[in-house]
């Protein structure tokens, strides 16, 4: 079907039908356009009424137009409306936005989708879905990101964001053309934002200028997390924690799934299995662990249950089309669901957290918040349920509307209320929230994971592409369930996944009820040894990870990056997802097939191998690590948990470029709290130069008010042919290393 419409003075003009969508008419629509930022244009279709459809939930703030779009603006979308003769959702039709692409354009993004990194020739449905055991065939998963990043043949890039919360189908053509990217959305017409950039990095940074960046996480959240459905009673939790410490396997967090609750009632504990949660949390803290506990949105509809009674007194629940309280079945049985579109309900929800957090809870896991509903075909609440709406903290006023309009942001608004509550309970600490359901922009409130994956080799492989596409969609803090949630898998799969998962931005082992144990030691001593080494690698890299999270916080660039970021014009890298970059300087080359026989396409130039804890590349379950020529990677000591020791000594891994230079950054702050906002941090730029005989390492620049600690710096200069030169000195003073 054609989308090459003529611009019209009238709102829309019927131009005919077509195949594949049933009997329908297509109406080409007029549009308006304006610049909102220097490289970002907004195109609005005829019929778009901001007051009637409500504010943007993707954007961090509402943007006024700044002027006309230049006549030579490259990307010019076309809007249309489709009317189906047989009726259907949203009045029997939907909106279409078509964006042309040129030959050689590669497409990415679309948020949380299974399958390969490259998204050309794909269909993704933005409709948050409980997708247990999903695979590449699932059209929708737990989160919705109506966004596509396009990288042209020459390495320049553009991005398109359809600013709608309604259900959207994103269709990307396998071949270039006038409808290389097509959004088909239900509901009221909404604007499209187009970002132009000299590189994909420019576009992703500009996306962050629209949707915001993540807040700095607490440092402990970058450590390793251990979870299952479920660890209970508390004796098992203590045993898990003690095993980590006795076996010298690093870990920072133990997680608690729903079985800690009293018959799955949120904000309660089972008195038999967890008689004293405050003491349990305190004892785990003393061992260097933090704890994260699950809270779901389904509230047991039971008079006498305090949360239900309080919410009922506030008329807080989502209503059905007949204006009666909607009830659906979830873990506790029949449940009601808070209407998080209402400011007063989010405030009430946040006020439930102080007493909960007072027991020593460190973080909160919002699960089942698509919302998931049992025993119904849709797996969620009816689309004609009603959300009241209301003020959204400076964003504007959410209009009253059906669940079809707010389904994709239900989990995001829940996570916002949760984060607000944790912050109110512990104002001097950085909140940590993990959410299963989300929308473009939910990274402002919570980290995420890739949902209920399976213990299959395909899931090992696509865990890379999924976190990369999430990062390219504005969410840098994500990772898979290491070992697979659905099913058992075996020792070989677990060992390989642990080697890879230990290098993901969010690193958590997790599995479902009834499965075998999947702790690092559960598969025997050889797998335990691999897991220990993998996690010791992660903990040595924590200073680098923390620096990358600071960069994500400041710029929006992802922590884990596709290899084509190293050379966007190299076509060989465009589809590579067996390897990825951490920042710009560290290349991770994984083996994602059982035999590990696939040879990935790697960036050109010099990437020197590095070994962090004495491992060698003889272990195929540990990804190869390579440092880019010209980069400096900061490392810390091996630790049992993230704040066990001060960062002393620092180790600087240096790989000189062909001119004999290298540089790299190290960001430090207290690891928690907000003093960094007032300048209490230390950002150091290290530089290395050589005259051919001696490498000189020095501090080239610093930012922040935090004083430099008195500490040792150990330097390892990577040379060709697996050689290296080493030296040491005092941080802040020049260090000289003699070359062999």
Task: Look at the block and give the residue holding tokens 């008419």.
Answer: 25
Q: What confidence score (pLDDT) does residue 16 get?
A: 44
Task: Specify whether 262 is located in the same domain as 363.
Answer: yes
3-state helix vs strand vs coil in the chain, percent to 5: 25, 30, 50
Residue 304 lies in a domain: no
Q: What confidence score (pLDDT) does residue 177 get?
A: 83
Q: How many CB atoms lie within 10 A of CB 544?
A: 24
The three-point CA angle 379-113-531 to 5° equals 105
Closest-CA residue to 79 (of 151, 150, 156, 5)? 5
Task: Specify whether 525 is located in the same domain as 572.
Answer: no
Residues of the chain with pLDDT under 50: 1-10, 15-22, 86-91
Task: Specify whether 106 is located in the same domain as 60.
Answer: yes
Q: What is the pLDDT of residues 634-682, one digit of tens each?
A: 999 999 999 999 999 999 999 999 999 999 999 999 999 999 999 999 9
Q: Model's pTM, two decimal places?
A: 0.96
Task: Specify whether 659 is located in the same domain as 729.
Answer: yes
Residue 422 lies in a domain: yes
Q: What is the pLDDT of residues 125-136, one digit of tens each?
A: 999 999 999 999
Q: What confidence score (pLDDT) does residue 4 get?
A: 29
What's the number of domains the chain is made of?
Answer: 3
| 677, 434 Cβ separation under 8 angstroms | no
Residue 560 lies in a domain: no
The whole-angstrom separation of Cα 646 and Cα 520 is 26
Q: What confidence score (pLDDT) does residue 51 get?
A: 85
364 Cβ contact list (under 8 Å, min separation 6): 292, 293, 294, 295, 353, 418, 422, 432, 433, 434
Residue 312 lies in a domain: no
Q: What confidence score (pLDDT) does residue 294 get?
A: 98
Residues forming beta bridges with residue 631, ordered by sequence position: 655, 663
Task: Specify whether 532 is located in the same domain as 582.
Answer: no
Catalytic residues, by residue number, are 367, 370, 452
Residue 456 lies in a domain: yes
- In 265-393, the DSSP E strands lie at 290-295, 299-300, 328-330, 333-336, 363-366, 386-387, 390-391
Q: What confidence score (pLDDT) does residue 615 get?
A: 82
Task: Specify whether 450 is located in the same domain as 491.
Answer: yes
Q: How many CB atoms lie within 10 A of CB 247?
A: 14
| 16, 39 Cβ separation under 8 angstroms | no
Residue 379 lies in a domain: yes
Strands of the sheet with 333-336, listed across from one edge = 299-300, 333-336, 328-330
Q: What confidence score (pLDDT) does residue 5 get?
A: 26
- Helix axes 343-350 and 403-425, enclosed angle (nearest 10): 40
The three-point CA angle 309-298-237 to 5° equals 105
Q: What confidence score (pLDDT) does residue 85 get?
A: 52
| 316, 299 Cβ separation under 8 angstroms | no
Please classify residue 231 by burial: count the beta carbons closer than 10 Å to its beta carbon, then call 0-12 exposed, 13-18 middle and 19+ buried.
Answer: buried
The whole-angstrom separation of Cα 578 and Cα 479 is 15
Task: Specify whether 518 is located in the same domain as 580.
Answer: no
164 Cβ contact list (under 8 Å, min separation 6): 146, 185, 187, 190
Domain end point (choices 197, 229, 253): 197
The whole-angstrom separation of Cα 345 and Cα 339 is 6
What's the gap between Cα 696 and its chain centre? 38
Domain holding 148: CATH number? 2.60.40.1760
Task: Specify whether 54 is located in the same domain as 181.
Answer: yes
The whole-angstrom separation of Cα 407 and Cα 488 is 32
Q: What is the pLDDT of residues 167-189, one digit of tens each?
A: 999 999 998 888 899 999 999 99
Task: Specify whether 279 is located in the same domain as 365.
Answer: yes
Task: Look at the block and give the residue holding tokens 């109506």.
Answer: 146
Alpha helices (runs of H) in 31-78, residue ranges in sequence order: 50-53
Q: What confidence score (pLDDT) does residue 8 get?
A: 28
The whole-angstrom separation of Cα 408 and Cα 531 is 37
696 Cβ contact list (under 8 Å, min separation 6): 688, 689, 690, 734, 735, 736, 737
The whole-angstrom separation of Cα 703 and Cα 595 is 47
Name the token pair of 435. 């959410």
Name the token pair of 4. 């090459």
Closest-CA residue to 169 (of 105, 102, 98)? 98
- Helix axes 234-246 and 277-286, enclosed angle (nearest 10): 0
The whole-angstrom separation of Cα 168 and Cα 185 is 4
DSSP for 130-187, please give it: --TT--TT-S--SEE--EEEEE-TTS-EEEEEE---S-EEEEE-SS-EEEEEEEEE-S
The whole-angstrom separation of Cα 401 and Cα 55 is 13
634 Cβ contact list (under 8 Å, min separation 6): 543, 544, 547, 650, 651, 652, 653, 664, 665, 666, 686
| 365, 447 Cβ separation under 8 angstroms | no
Please state, in angstroms and as integers, the Cα–Cα distance from residue 569 to each residue in 465, 566, 583, 628, 697, following that order: 19, 9, 19, 18, 33
Residue 667 has what DSSP assignment?
E
The whole-angstrom separation of Cα 120 and Cα 461 is 18
Q: Can you give the residue range of the structural domain that contains 192?
A: 12-197
Please state, in angstroms and as integers, the Cα–Cα distance from residue 507 to each residue in 115, 157, 535, 698, following that order: 20, 30, 9, 33
Q: What confidence score (pLDDT) does residue 6 get?
A: 28
Task: Specify whether 595 is located in the same domain as 698.
Answer: yes
The whole-angstrom separation of Cα 279 and Cα 287 is 13
Task: Specify whether 495 is located in the same domain as 359.
Answer: yes
| 75, 99 Cβ separation under 8 angstroms | yes
Q: Strand, coil or helix: what is 592?
A: coil
Residue 7 lies in a domain: no
| 154, 167 Cβ separation under 8 angstroms | no
Q: Strand, coil or helix: what is 702?
A: strand
Q: What confidence score (pLDDT) does residue 25 get?
A: 67
Name the token pair of 462. 């696509």
| 195, 35 Cβ separation under 8 angstroms | no
Domain holding 447: CATH number? 3.20.20.80
Task: Specify whether 69 is located in the same domain as 103.
Answer: yes
| 222, 642 Cβ separation under 8 angstroms | yes
Alpha carbon dihedral 97, 98, 104, 108, in 10-degree steps, equals 20
- In 296-357, the DSSP E strands lie at 299-300, 328-330, 333-336
Residue 684 lies in a domain: yes
């Amino acid at each position: 079907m054609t989308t090459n419409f003529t611009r019209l003075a009238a709102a829309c003009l019927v131009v005919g039908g077509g195949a594949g969508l049933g009997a329908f008419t297509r109406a080409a629509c007029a549009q308006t356009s304006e610049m909102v930022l220097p490289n970002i244009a907004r195109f609005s279709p005829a019929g778009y009424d901001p007051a009637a459809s409500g504010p943007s939930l993707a954007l961090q703030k509402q943007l006024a137009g700044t002027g006309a779009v230049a006549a030579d603006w490259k990307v010019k979308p076309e809007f249309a409306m489709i009317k189906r003769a047989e009726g259907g959702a949203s009045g029997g039709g939907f909106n279409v936005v078509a964006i042309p692409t040129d030959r050689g354009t590669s497409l990415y993004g679309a948020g949380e989708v299974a399958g390969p990194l490259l998204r050309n020739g794909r269909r993704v449905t933005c409709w948050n879905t409980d997708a247990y055991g999903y695979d590449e065939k699932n059209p929708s998963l737990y989160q919705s990101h109506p966004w596509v990043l396009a990288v042209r043949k020459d390495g320049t890039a553009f991005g398109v964001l359809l600013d709608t919360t309604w259900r959207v189908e994103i269709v990307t053509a396998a071949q270039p053309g006038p409808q290389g990217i097509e959004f088909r959305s239900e509901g009221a017409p909404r604007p499209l934002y187009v970002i132009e950039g000299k590189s994909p990095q420019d576009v992703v940074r500009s996306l962050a200028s629209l949707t915001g960046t993540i807040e700095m996480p607490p440092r402990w959240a970058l450590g390793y997390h251990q979870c299952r459905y479920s660890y209970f009673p508390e004796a098992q939790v203590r045993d898990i924690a003690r095993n980590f410490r006795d076996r010298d396997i690093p870990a920072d967090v133990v997680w608690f799934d729903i079985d800690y609750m009293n018959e799955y009632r949120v904000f309660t504990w089972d008195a038999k299995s967890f008689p004293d949660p405050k003491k349990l949390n305190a004892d785990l803290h003393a061992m260097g662990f933090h704890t994260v506990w699950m809270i779901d949105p389904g509230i047991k509809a039971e008079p006498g249950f305090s949360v239900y009674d309080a919410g009922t007194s506030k008329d807080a629940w989502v209503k059905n089309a007949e204006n009666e309280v909607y009830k659906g079945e979830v873990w506790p049985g029949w449940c009601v669901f808070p209407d998080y579109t209402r400011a007063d309900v989010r405030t009430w929800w946040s006020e439930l957290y102080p007493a909960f957090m007072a027991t020593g809870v460190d973080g909160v896991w919002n699960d089942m918040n698509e919302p998931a509903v049992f025993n119904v075909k849709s797996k969620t609440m009816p689309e004609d349920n009603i959300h009241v709406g209301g003020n959204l903290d400076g964003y504007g006023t959410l209009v009253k509307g059906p669940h079809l309009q707010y389904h994709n942001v239900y989990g995001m608004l829940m996570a916002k209320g949760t984060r607000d509550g944790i912050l109110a309970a512990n104002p001097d600490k950085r909140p940590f929230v993990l959410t299963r359901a989300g929308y473009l922009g939910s990274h402002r409130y919570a980290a995420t994971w890739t949902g209920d994956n399976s213990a299959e080799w395909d899931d090992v492989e696509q865990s890379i592409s999924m976190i990369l596409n999430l990062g390219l969609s504005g969410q840098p803090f994500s990772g898979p369930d290491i070992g697979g949630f659905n099913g058992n898998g075996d020792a070989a799969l677990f060992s390989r996944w642990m080697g890879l998962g230990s290098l993901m931005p969010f690193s958590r082992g997790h599995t479902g009820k009834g499965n075998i144990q999947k702790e690092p030691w559960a598969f025997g001593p050889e797998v335990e040894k691999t897991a220990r080494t993998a996690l010791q690698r992660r903990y040595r890299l924590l200073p680098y990870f923390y620096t990358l999270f600071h960069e994500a916080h400041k710029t929006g660039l992802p922590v884990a990056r596709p290899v084509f970021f190293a050379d966007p014009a190299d076509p060989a890298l465009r589809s590579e997802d067996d390897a990825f970059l951490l920042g710009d300087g560290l290349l991770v080359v994984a083996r994602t097939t059982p035999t590990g026989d696939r040879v990935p396409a790697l960036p050109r130039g010099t990437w020197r191998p590095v070994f962090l804890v004495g491992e060698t590349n003889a272990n195929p379950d540990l990804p190869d690590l390579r440092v880019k020529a010209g980069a400096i990677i900061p490392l810390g000591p091996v630790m049992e948990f993230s704040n066990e020791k001060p960062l002393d000594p620092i180790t600087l891994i240096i790989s000189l470029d062909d001119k004999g230079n290298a540089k790299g950054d190290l960001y430090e702050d207290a690891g928690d709290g907000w003093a960094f906002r007032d300048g209490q941090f230390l950002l150091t730029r290290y530089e290395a130069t050589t005259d051919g005989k001696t490498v000189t390492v020095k501090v080239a620049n610093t930012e922040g008010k935090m004083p430099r600690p008195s500490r040792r710096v150990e330097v390892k200069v990577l040379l060709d042919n697996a050689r290296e030169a080493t030296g040491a000195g005092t941080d802040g003073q020049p260090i000289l290393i003699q070359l062999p």
